[in-house]
Structure 1
Amino acid sequence: MATKTSMVYNVTRQAAELVPPAGPTPFEYKELSDIDTLRFHVWVIQFYKKEEGDNAVGSIFRRRDPAKVIKEAVAKALVWYYPLAGRLLEISGRKLVVDCNREGILFVEADADVTLEDFGVPPLPPFPCLEQLISNVPGSTAILGTPLILIQVTRLKCGGFILSVRLNHAMSDAGGLVQFMHAVAELARGADSPSVLPVWDRHLLNARDPPRITCDHPEYDGIPDTTRTINPRDDIVHNSFFFGPTEIAALKRFIPPHQKASTFEILTACLWRCRTISLQLDPEETVRIMCMVNSRNIFNPPLPSGYYGNAIAYSGASSSAGKISKNPIGYALDLIKKTKAKVTQEFMMSLADLMVIKGRPRFNETFVVSDITRAGFDELDYGWGPPVYGGNVIPGTYRISVYVPLKNWKGEKGIFVPICLPRKAMKIFVKELNELLRDLPEHRIASSRSSPSIFSYL
């Protein structure tokens, strides 16, 4: 079997086609909210096994083409989610509006001469030949006037398949995308309608009248990234780390007695510290981290359960490299906790006001962490059972790490974290992380490089 790093395979694609809603939908214009300003695309990829066994749940689908099943379900789902079949326009003040014109989403069918096991057990990023699994359809990558979603289904020679999705982030966040894909999954399994109906209500996150900035938002101050040690032309390497219950328990030993911390908070604090040390920065250099915080449940009342617009906030923390590196982990942990606690209902309304007042600026370039372990990408079942891997794809950037839920080859549930760093820094990062876990059996940290056994013993 070919290894992940050397595997080369052929993908035969059919031409991309537009899939419109399967039934009549309104022709209208719908304004996005004032925080629907993320003008870039995000990618999600899911790997599915062939359904096996006559008595398996969903076995009636085993002889069906997954591309056909999913395409038909997408068309049905777009009847409810018809704005996703439209195109974005820009009006005064850089405000975004969707033209609900029924043009449809892009859909690509493909076949690959490779098996699911060739990607590792379980499959983990960085995935070989990723550009063949997520089509770059010419003319489709602009934010305005192009399809809002691209879906590719790649059939594998073992009977499994890969489902990849590219989303225009201005339309939805991870929670909104999962909601739409969950509707597709339900319809693919034979449901007559989605169990959760979509709610537009983007006015709930519009600026107030008059707009007024009542909170600090340094994340949008236009401060350039000062971490000049990382050069995009450096020898950047991509590694992936698995944190199961044993590893998380080991990291929680560093929570100070007077503090309480979530798994996300202590994991982020540890990774931020290891990353800062690995870059060998000047002690006085400022390092920053940005946490993506889901605000859906901080509103009173909460946003409607069917709301599928952006409801995330970018909230950042900063410190000198020396303080992050030399202080106990509790120092970084305190900064992480404070930056999450900043995200309140007032913070979100102030953010919407800022977007209107300052012309919808982009957030500062810095290190961003996002937790999608509870988003539900790992639970989407189109009739072949849940995926063996489901999560974001970050194409080789040292600026973003997304926490993805994963079962390792032993069946342990945990958190999978991709990290990109210059090669020299990665060696130091691994050493520092291993030091935090030094009391674990076999002195282990998790790394995708040791696939199919995802543990690397260092």
Structure 2
Amino acid sequence: MAQAPSPLTFTVRRNPPELIVPAKPTPRELKPLSDIDDQEGFRFHVRLIHIYQQNPKMGNKNPASVIREALAKVLVFYYPFAGRLKEGPGRKLMVDCSGQGVLFIEAEADVTLKQFGAEIRPPFPCKDELLYDVPGSSGILDSPLMLIQVTRLLCGGFILVVRFNHTMSDAFGYVQFMKALSEMANGASSPTILSVWQRELLCARDPPRVTCTHREYDELPDKDGVIITPDDMECMSFFFGPAQISAIRRFVPTNIKRCSTFDMLTACLWRCRTIALQPNPKDEMRMIVIVNARSKFNPPIPIGYYGNVFAHSVAISKARDLCNKPLGHALELVMRAKSEVTEEYMKSVADLMVIRGRPRLTNVGYIVSDVKRNGLLEIDFGWGKAVYAGPDFQVSSSFTRYINKKGESGILVPIWLPGVAMKRFVEELNNLLAPDNKDHVIPEHLTTISKL
């Protein structure tokens, strides 16, 4: 079910980075971001990994050349990505659509996909080799908004890694851009879905007014080491196929049996993770769930809008309740938190950003997101569907769609925890999934928290 880090090492040879500019002239203008886009917590770069097998039908075509050419074409439609961010009054972010381009690197690695193991999943070895951090490229202001590296492998497959500035797009918007890129790579003259800017739709009202409670922006002290930094953690990936999902559903109360698989798994991981961390039983434990709010708006957010349209809903429970109460306790809290995200909630977030000077997201809690339906695996540049596609986050877990070596379709979830806690997490999860565990009795060695 879980996979530990691979010891694989390899060498990557890179061509010098180059700037890819739009294939045709594009408007030179200043385009303000929305007040959802330019909040402090989104001012970082997101990295996503796409892995493709060799395809004999593509002959000797170079995937880097195909993607490079398609990139110039798609930037005509998504020309803000070729610009640079500037700050205006009140630190308001706007894109200077200068057409300076996005960074692109072509590389080769002396490794095959088979050497990554029977199942290709995070954590990936040599991640920094698969995306070279070009000096000066990782800033927020006056830096390229996107960096792409295509690394060809000895087997004919390739690894595409994309890093983009989160203020420009969320996961939904990113997939829209990548689908457009793949369409251009396959010969289209324009994307099926045309890009829509209209960031004013998610700007603060005049006057701004906070109408909802936003626990996601609470300023909290780190009591008892609840905050875990990436340096303290190790990563393992967990696959949840039909058998594992059915096993967990045994513990879902009858009145909420129709809950989504994402909600159920989120509650399960929250509970197992808390047991593994062994916090003070009085501590508040937070699960922060990323909710795509596009469907909440009336009239709807336009098709083609690629800005950020999501909220961080927060479920909170005392540690002792999470560990000692049935799974339904955590599940109901997750479902209730998600239901609070409405159109008014999103408008309230935008207003809060302006009133409070764009506060950061709270650093206490664990963040989960659902990208399994975003179509990442289906992005095809001519070599077929990806064998793996997903974000590379070090402090959160993204649920991605995954097909294991048995051909089973399921959900892959990377988990980051300190080493000792990871062992307890695996034990607790295995106990939960055991066929003979009908009541989910926590083993004696995992009940330390309830006795503190």
Q: TM-score, normalised by structure 2?
A: 0.92
| DSSP-derived class of the 1:254 partner | coil
| DSSP-derived class of the 1:141 partner | coil
Q: Find the counterpart in structure 1 of residue 166 from structure 2.
A: 169
Indicate whether 1:104 and 2:70 are aligned.
no
C-alpha distance in 2 between matches for 1:207 and 1:270: 36
Q: Find the counterpart in structure 1 of residue 240 from structure 2.
A: 243
Residue identity in the other structure for 2:18: E
Quick check: 214-223 or 272-281, which moved more? 214-223
Q: Find the counterpart in structure 2 of residue 48 from structure 1.
A: 52
Given that residues 371 and 404 in structure 1 are in contact (C-alpha distance below 8 angstroms), is that contact kept between their aligned partners in structure 2?
yes
Residue identity in the other structure for 2:54: K
| DSSP-derived class of the 2:294 partner | coil
Q: Find the counterpart in structure 2 of residue 429 from structure 1.
A: 425
Given that residues 50 and 62 in structure 1 are in contact (C-alpha distance below 8 angstroms), is that contact kept between their aligned partners in structure 2?
no
Indicate whether 1:316 and 2:314 are aligned.
yes
| DSSP-derived class of the 1:176 partner | helix
**Contiguous gaps of at least 5 residues in structure 1:** 53-58, 442-458
User: Shift of residue 235 of structure 1?
Assistant: 5.3
C-alpha distance in 1 between matches for 2:322 and 2:255: 19
Quick check: 262-271 or 225-234, which moved more? 225-234
Quick check: 253-262 or 39-48, which moved more? 253-262
Given that residues 4 and 119 in structure 1 are in contact (C-alpha distance below 8 angstroms), is that contact kept between their aligned partners in structure 2?
no
C-alpha distance in 1 between matches for 2:135 and 2:231: 29
| DSSP-derived class of the 1:110 partner | strand
Quick check: 135-144 or 247-256, which moved more? 247-256
User: Shift of residue 234 of structure 1?
Assistant: 7.1
User: Shift of residue 309 of structure 1?
Assistant: 0.2
C-alpha distance in 2 between matches for 1:201 and 1:255: 42
C-alpha distance in 2 between matches for 1:289 and 1:231: 14
Q: Find the counterpart in structure 2 of residue 456 from structure 1.
A: none
User: Shift of residue 440 of structure 1?
Assistant: 7.9
Q: Find the counterpart in structure 2 of residue 372 from structure 1.
A: 371
User: Shift of residue 229 of structure 1?
Assistant: 5.4
C-alpha distance in 1 between matches for 2:219 and 2:5: 39
Q: Deviations over 1:27-63 (max 9, x none)?
A: 00001101002101111001101113xxxxxx2x332
Given that residues 116 and 156 in structure 1 are in contact (C-alpha distance below 8 angstroms), is that contact kept between their aligned partners in structure 2?
yes
Q: Find the counterpart in structure 2 of residue 298 from structure 1.
A: 296
Given that residues 226 and 287 in structure 1 are in contact (C-alpha distance below 8 angstroms), is that contact kept between their aligned partners in structure 2?
no
| DSSP-derived class of the 2:234 partner | strand
C-alpha distance in 1 between matches for 2:303 and 2:55: 32
C-alpha distance in 1 between matches for 2:237 and 2:224: 22
C-alpha distance in 1 between matches for 2:282 and 2:150: 49
| DSSP-derived class of the 2:132 partner | coil
Please, which of 404, 407, 419 is the counterpart of residue 403 of structure 2? 407
| DSSP-derived class of the 1:435 partner | helix
Return structure 1 stretches of 4+ with deviation > 3 angstroms.
224-227, 229-235
Given that residues 5 and 236 in structure 2 are in contact (C-alpha distance below 8 angstroms), is that contact kept between their aligned partners in structure 1?
no
Question: Structure 1 pair 179/392, CA: closer, same or farther in 2 (3 Å)?
Answer: same
Q: Find the counterpart in structure 2 of residue 131 from structure 1.
A: 128
Q: Deviations over 1:99-152 (max 9, x none)?
A: 000000000110000001111233111111111001111101111110001010
Q: Deviations over 1:184-226 (max 9, x none)?
A: 1001011111000000011110111111000000111222343
C-alpha distance in 2 between matches for 1:339 and 1:368: 13
**Contiguous gaps of at least 5 residues in structure 2:** 438-452
Please, which of 195, 219, 222 is the counterpart of residue 222 of structure 1? 219
Question: Structure 1 pair 325/291, CA: closer, same or farther in 2 (3 Å)?
Answer: same
Given that residues 122 and 389 in structure 1 are in contact (C-alpha distance below 8 angstroms), is that contact kept between their aligned partners in structure 2?
no
Q: Deviations over 1:291-310 (max 9, x none)?
A: 00000111012111100000
| DSSP-derived class of the 1:151 partner | strand
C-alpha distance in 2 between matches for 1:252 and 1:306: 36
User: Shift of residue 230 of structure 1?
Assistant: 5.9
Residue identity in the other structure for 2:386: P
User: Shift of residue 319 of structure 1?
Assistant: 1.4
Indicate whether 1:417 and 2:416 are aligned.
no
Given that residues 14 and 107 in structure 2 are in contact (C-alpha distance below 8 angstroms), is that contact kept between their aligned partners in structure 1?
yes
Given that residues 224 and 280 in structure 2 are in contact (C-alpha distance below 8 angstroms), is that contact kept between their aligned partners in structure 1?
no
| DSSP-derived class of the 1:258 partner | helix
Indicate whether 1:384 and 2:404 are aligned.
no
Question: Structure 1 pair 235/27, CA: closer, same or farther in 2 (3 Å)?
Answer: closer
